[in-house]
Amino acid sequence: MLIILGPDHSKEQLDGVVARVSALGYKPHIIPGEHGTAIGVTGNAGPLDPRVFESLPGVKQAIPVTKSYKLAGRDFKSPDTAVEISPGLSVGAGRFIVMAGPCAVESREQTLRIARLVKKAGAHVLRGGAFKPRTSPYAFQGLGEEGLKILAEARAETGLPVVSEALDPASLELVYKYADVVQIGARNMQNFSLLREAGKLDKPVLLKRGLSATVDEWLQSAEYLLAEGNARIILCERGIRTFSSHTRNTLDLNAVPVAQKLSHLPVMVDPSHGTGVRDKVVPLARAAAAVGAHGVIIEVHDRPDEALCDGPQAMPPEVFAELVETLKKLGGVLGYTL
Amino acid sequence: MLIILGPDHSKEQLDGVVARVSALGYKPHIIPGEHGTAIGVTGNAGPLDPRVFESLPGVKQAIPVTKSYKLAGRDFKSPDTAVEISPGLSVGAGRFIVMAGPCAVESREQTLRIARLVKKAGAHVLRGGAFKPRTSPYAFQGLGEEGLKILAEARAETGLPVVSEALDPASLELVYKYADVVQIGARNMQNFSLLREAGKLDKPVLLKRGLSATVDEWLQSAEYLLAEGNARIILCERGIRTFSSHTRNTLDLNAVPVAQKLSHLPVMVDPSHGTGVRDKVVPLARAAAAVGAHGVIIEVHDRPDEALCDGPQAMPPEVFAELVETLKKLGGVLGYTL
Amino acid sequence: MLIILGPDHSKEQLDGVVARVSALGYKPHIIPGEHGTAIGVTGNAGPLDPRVFESLPGVKQAIPVTKSYKLAGRDFKSPDTAVEISPGLSVGAGRFIVMAGPCAVESREQTLRIARLVKKAGAHVLRGGAFKPRTSPYAFQGLGEEGLKILAEARAETGLPVVSEALDPASLELVYKYADVVQIGARNMQNFSLLREAGKLDKPVLLKRGLSATVDEWLQSAEYLLAEGNARIILCERGIRTFSSHTRNTLDLNAVPVAQKLSHLPVMVDPSHGTGVRDKVVPLARAAAAVGAHGVIIEVHDRPDEALCDGPQAMPPEVFAELVETLKKLGGVLGYTL
Amino acid sequence: MLIILGPDHSKEQLDGVVARVSALGYKPHIIPGEHGTAIGVTGNAGPLDPRVFESLPGVKQAIPVTKSYKLAGRDFKSPDTAVEISPGLSVGAGRFIVMAGPCAVESREQTLRIARLVKKAGAHVLRGGAFKPRTSPYAFQGLGEEGLKILAEARAETGLPVVSEALDPASLELVYKYADVVQIGARNMQNFSLLREAGKLDKPVLLKRGLSATVDEWLQSAEYLLAEGNARIILCERGIRTFSSHTRNTLDLNAVPVAQKLSHLPVMVDPSHGTGVRDKVVPLARAAAAVGAHGVIIEVHDRPDEALCDGPQAMPPEVFAELVETLKKLGGVLGYTL
């Protein structure tokens, strides 16, 4: 923490701040300057709330210095973390990982059909929602455990590991039972009790960034998982909310190299939710690879007009196959395998 | 839904859209125009996803018309809803309601002390967090059930009903047991399973607006509660996330008259979280009354420097007492009692 | 500037930063700490670009301390500035100032008619646009000098001083010639050559905040005017652009007490553009008074259906008269006259 | 325009809206439905303001249908526009165009040195600012005409055409005289008088997107240029302002395919301003190519520590040369030449 006093502060005000810092058990360092006095604070175990000092007389600003996460940061662990999903398949280990499948599991036939298609096209992991967080209470909410059983059957047939979203303690238990990767969605990025439960699991967690979350808050949510002992976290950028409404969300590819610099965790991108519009998914998926993401997660549906959920952002299987080909070729330039 | 085709669409494209609308069981109405053709869609029970039609050939835009909530809207219930908190005390019934208390219950002494002070100053309801949603896993997370017992004791002594936040199914059960109003916080506004559980309760719910929620999404979250049978909902604006960082959040007072026009539910304002800075809470609380809100919820602490949570946005009791006086006088001009 | 080095920085990296600071002519102050080393920088005349230091090896963050404006800040001039508009009429001197009139001057008849109505209702200043910045090149662009002459005639008849917007050097000269207050609109808040020209005038300038401007940037734009010698600046909040689309813009009343704390300049509010919707203007105008603004600027039209510009946000004269009455009564509680 | 009346509107209200539409000279089309009545409006020459109808009794919503630009849209001109910069060099014609150079022209030596370096690395156009829009009045404002002469000298030596920014009528004239492409910066995207002047020029204009501009507003600003007769417009995405502050701006690559679908004009990307941080420029430049942009504009400086402007986002020449190589190789996959 650095505390700034204005040019016309009194001796008493300076003494007051110094006394307060000392009373809290920290060490104050006075730095005189032309435009006021600064006081550096050291000795704190974690980040301090700047507003604690900003309310003292004479103080103009208090600036936090200590990071608000530890285990998720490069200071704690410098080399990249690779998260193993299944034997021989890891995210963050030089291979660009493609997860694909329907938004929601709608039926056994639909899921098996699409699973075969994405497997054939080159996907590494099958995605599919059994529990769907829907803005409206009247929208299709997913098949629940039945959906997870279908995903497990699709895995048995295709060999693709499965990622699926959990919404609450009850669904977390079920997703853990059937899936290989547990997804925490954007709306639950700060559902801290759910994070704590997921932190106790021995399976990887795909942690999506919240619609209004800073990268710092995203890493603090990862810290909840890490603090409980789960080190297998895959971050996933999926679009933020801005004034810019030509796409459903604003996919923030800037966040990919930023998160990769601050954290050792791998970072994937979800261009389907990030844009919400089918014909924007291919260009943004290519851009995700070019920006250096460790993989993408894509919604694919062979009959999007019949989809019960987000059909308009789903990609037909033949377009997906072509995209995988392009991503493979881009790897030749960008230095990854697929 | 209104579907717009561009000026140079073909007869086949128009026929295709008409056929698709009919196949979905809706009725198409063709409206020819200078700049293309529009097709009005009727016969749908709820809102349609515009992207379903925007992906058809020739279609330029599809515009939803049906609202995505029913029970929360003025179409369903035109007169204002008054939510009774305790016998003789209602939000939305011509009285400006003031909820006040510490951010978090820290100890029996602290809570009783502050409860007496806010009671004396004129507050109607005691607020206090027993379960705290914290961005960092290392921050103080609340006293849990112990905290709720303290709030109940404060109620017994002061007569003030209690509002406290629930985070998950387990804490919801406890908050329901001890408190008079259950708060769903901003981060949980789209925690749909929590909403569904809270919808089954026979106590009022204070539903805060999410940091990146539109008013429409806020009302859809209220709809989750209403659809389960709980009609005693108090909406609460508490600041949104924008580029504007001079306050912690941007308190969006525009949302108050907007929500009041669209919905019959009462709307309160939380200027403490909305601004996050102590000396901005008083002016924004006054502004909340002037804009027509049905009440405010304010953080008060008599020793903010020792607060375990959000001390810098807490107001000293004497400032709070003065604010209540001002709010009372404003009621003389604005037409409410306090 | 405070430069932060991470916990594992090398001696060479620290020396490198110290050398760089010295080479730039500033003085480095080393502050050792548990979580790295901080270097305080003093001796700089103005603000430094943090990125200059963040690109040096070992540096984790560089935090600016010096404010980026001087003349606009409370450090430079502590007491409130009152801006005189005409003899006996000042903004920021204990009186709540109401500026009102049509969005655009459309005709002599329309302007005189509305001028009389707002005068009668209690307005202090007549507003009216002769040069209109329009998003579309095909929209009505204002009457130009003809419009200014009409405003001058309205002033002659009603005695109300006139505020009108300038868009470029040519219109600035004309507005200066005819009006009493020159308005710089939101879209031109960072039109720096226009600011510089306006800074040379001996008439007050109403400087609107840009749609995506921070308060800091707004004050730097005021600094452009002040640096040229014009000290008669009235700041005006008029809504920012956020994801929240239920109003045209998000009127940011939080900015009022923030700007008032940082700067000595008076701050007005424009709820007409801030919300863009007629029935939201009255509640937000009341809220502007309650938050402590020094005045409001309101669009009034007696035949809004015929308005050539922004009719839907214009208030009928009778509603305006009632609003002025309410604002007057609020002054009795809030401590201003009108 | 589509006007929606709620389910409980009266016959009088419907008649009133129909009468109003007719009175304005448009044709109303009544579409009855379960959830209210819709009225389609045809016969309007340009877009209508929805608020004109939303203020009528019984109306719930009015939805614009007509686009607010014409000449910039695909409806007006379907095939892609290629903008010729110099004989044999066009943007939007299958070749990925790289513009590069210093943020500001600081001296003859600096500019010639960097011009040679970027030429050697493969740039097609030299960028350099002679008139700099600076947030602070105390920052370096550019060398003015002297700077433009230096750029012209650099062109004479290297053969690279020159792009440089104009801020106002006076600098526009000078930039037109010396440069090959006139840049209108983000802060001036809605400086309509400047746009109108630039629309009269017979040289290409690079029109940057404003920090808070929607794609629709960006295309309307292009329309200002087109309406004056200048058809040689290159759009340039350069980052928008969001809550997300880990980069200086949020480069919105989503806007590239969106603008390309709506408009026939070519779209470039500026990852230097878009991110504002040197080590993020390379990944985002690669992503710009992958998303389908027609080119990039990059800040390069061989002595960034000495740069008078935005040194921290400038790329060293050797990194730039490597980037050009990568972009060339990506063209092999993505189907462009460089």
Cβ–Cβ below 8 Å for D246 and A253: no
Q: List the single range of A61-75, B252-266, C219-233, D71-85 with lowest mean pLDDT.
A: A61-75
**Same-domain pairing of C44 and C103:** no
Residue C181 lies in a domain: yes
Tell me how far apart the alpha carbons of residues B70 and B64 are, in angstroms, rounded to a whole number: 15
**Same-domain pairing of D197 and D58:** no
Instruction: Provide the angle, in degrees to the nearest 10, between the axes of the packed helices C317-334 and C278-291.
Output: 20
Partners of residue D188 in chain C, C-beta under 8 Å: 191
Tell me how far apart the alpha carbons of residues D73 and D255 are, in angstroms, rounded to a whole number: 15
Tell me how far apart the alpha carbons of residues A9 and A171 are, in angstroms, rounded to a whole number: 57
Q: List the single range of A260-264, A286-290, C4-8, D297-301 with lowest mean pLDDT.
A: C4-8
What lies within 8 Å, CB to CB, of C183 at 6+ separation is C163, C164, C165, C166, C175, C205, C206, C208
Partners of residue C258 in chain A, C-beta under 8 Å: none
**Same-domain pairing of A111 and A52:** no
What does the pLDDT read at residue C35?
Answer: 64
pLDDT in tens, C305-316: 778 887 778 999
**Average pLDDT estimate for D236-253:** 95
Minimal C-alpha gap between B30 and chain D (Å): 9
Residue A69 lies in a domain: no
What does the pLDDT read at residue D59?
Answer: 86
A335: enclosing H helix or E strand:
none
Minimal C-alpha gap between C245 and chain B (Å): 7
| Backbone phi, psi, residue B236, to 5° | -145, 115
What does the pLDDT read at residue B209?
Answer: 98
**Average pLDDT estimate for A37-50:** 76
**Same-domain pairing of A59 and A87:** no
pLDDT at A33 over 70: no
Residue D127 lies in a domain: yes
pLDDT in tens, C157-170: 999 999 999 999 99
pLDDT at C34 over 80: no
Question: Chains near B, with 3+ CB pairs < 8 A?
Answer: A, C, D
Residue B256's nearest CA partner among C268, A135, D57, C253 is C253
Minimal C-alpha gap between D295 and chain B (Å): 27
Cβ–Cβ below 8 Å for A304 and B224: no
What does the pLDDT read at residue A67?
Answer: 72
pLDDT in tens, A93-128: 999 999 999 999 999 999 999 999 999 999 999 999
């990296």: which residue's tokens?
C13
> Scanning every residue of chain B, which has its alpha carbon at the shortest distance from the alpha carbon of A242?
B242
Instruction: Say which of A38, A42, A243 has its CB closest to residue C40.
Output: A38
* End position of a domain, from candidates C30, C63, C96: C63
Residue B154's nearest CA partner among B138, B178, B176 is B178
pLDDT at A258 over 90: yes
pLDDT at C174 over 90: yes
Cβ–Cβ below 8 Å for D61 and B65: yes
Partners of residue A252 in chain D, C-beta under 8 Å: 242, 244, 250
> Scanning every residue of chain A, which has its alpha carbon at the shortest distance from the alpha carbon of D249?
A254
**Same-domain pairing of A51 and A179:** no
Residue B3, token pair as written in the block: 């579907």
C209: enclosing H helix or E strand:
none
Cβ–Cβ below 8 Å for B215 and C286: no
Cβ–Cβ below 8 Å for A289 and D292: no
Residue B299's nearest CA partner among B131, B118, B158 is B118
pLDDT at A6 over 80: no
Give one word for D181, left, alpha or beta, with left for phi > 0 and alpha for psi -120 to 50.
beta
Residue A76 lies in a domain: no
**Average pLDDT estimate for A325-330:** 98
Q: Tell me the pLDDT band of C191, cut-offs 50, 70 and 90.
A: very high
Tell me how far apart the alpha carbons of residues D227 and D14 are, in angstroms, rounded to a whole number: 38
Residue B162's nearest CA partner among B203, B201, B196 is B203
The string of DSSP codes covering B80-139 is PPPEEEETTEEESSSB-EEEEE-SB---HHHHHHHHHHHHHHT-SEEE-BSS---SSTTS
> Scanning every residue of chain D, which has its alpha carbon at the shortest distance from the alpha carbon of B8?
D75
Cβ–Cβ below 8 Å for A46 and B192: no
State the complex-level ipTM. 0.89
**Same-domain pairing of B186 and B290:** yes
Residue A258 lies in a domain: yes
Domain, as residue range, for B36: 2-63
Residue C78 lies in a domain: no
What lies within 8 Å, CB to CB, of D95 at 6+ separation is D89, D336, D337, D338
State how many domains chain D has: 2
The pLDDT profile of chain B, 338 residues, written as one tens digit per residue, is 778 887 788 888 999 889 888 888 888 878 776 667 878 787 776 677 777 788 788 888 787 766 778 899 998 899 999 999 999 999 999 999 999 999 999 999 999 999 999 999 999 999 999 999 998 888 889 999 999 999 999 999 999 999 999 999 999 999 999 999 999 999 999 999 999 999 999 999 999 999 999 999 999 999 999 999 999 999 999 999 999 988 999 999 999 999 999 999 999 999 999 999 889 999 999 999 999 999 999 999 999 877 888 777 899 999 999 999 999 999 999 999 99
What does the pLDDT read at residue A25?
Answer: 81
> Scanning every residue of chain D, which has its alpha carbon at the shortest distance from the alpha carbon of C197?
D168
Give one word for D144, left, alpha or beta, with left for phi > 0 and alpha for psi -120 to 50.
left
The residue that leads in pLDDT, A66 or C131, is C131
| SS3 of chain C: helix, strand, coil, percent, to 5 | 40, 20, 40
pLDDT at C104 over 90: yes
**Average pLDDT estimate for C222-246:** 96
- Provide the CA A71 distance to its chain's centre, in angstroms: 16
Tell me how far apart the alpha carbons of residues D143 and D149 are, in angstroms, rounded to a whole number: 10
**Same-domain pairing of D192 and D299:** yes
Cβ–Cβ below 8 Å for C212 and B289: no
Global pTM reads 0.90
Amino acid at D212: S
Residue C99's domain is classified under what CATH number? 3.20.20.70
Instruction: Say which of A63, A75, A241 has its CB closest to residue C2.
Output: A63
Mean pLDDT of chain C: 92
Residue D81 CA: distances (Å) to CA of D32, D74, D88, D266: 43, 10, 15, 6
Residue C66, token pair as written in the block: 């010096």
> Scanning every residue of chain A, which has its alpha carbon at the shortest distance from the alpha carbon of B134?
A192
Residue C228, token pair as written in the block: 């040229």
**Same-domain pairing of A57 and A97:** no
**Same-domain pairing of A11 and A115:** no
Instruction: Say which of C246, C283, C284 has its CB closest to residue B215.
Output: C246
**Average pLDDT estimate for A311-335:** 95
**Same-domain pairing of C50 and C197:** no
pLDDT in tens, C37-78: 878 787 776 677 777 788 788 888 787 766 778 899 998 899
Burial class (CB in 10 A: 0-12, 13-18, 19+), D87: exposed
Best mutation target among D187, D238, D282, D313 (most C Cβ atoms within 10 Å) is: D187
Cβ–Cβ below 8 Å for C46 and D187: no
**Same-domain pairing of C57 and C117:** no
Residue C261 lies in a domain: yes
**Average pLDDT estimate for D159-178:** 97
**Same-domain pairing of A47 and A112:** no
Residue C75 lies in a domain: no
Mean pLDDT of chain A: 92
Quick check: B239 and B206 in contact, CB under 8 A? no
Instruction: Say which of D34, D36, D43 has its CB closest to residue B43.
Output: D34
Minimal C-alpha gap between B274 and chain D (Å): 15
What does the pLDDT read at residue B65?
Answer: 65
What does the pLDDT read at residue D51?
Answer: 77
Question: Chains near C, with 3+ CB pairs < 8 A?
Answer: A, B, D
The residue that leads in pLDDT, A223 or D29, is A223
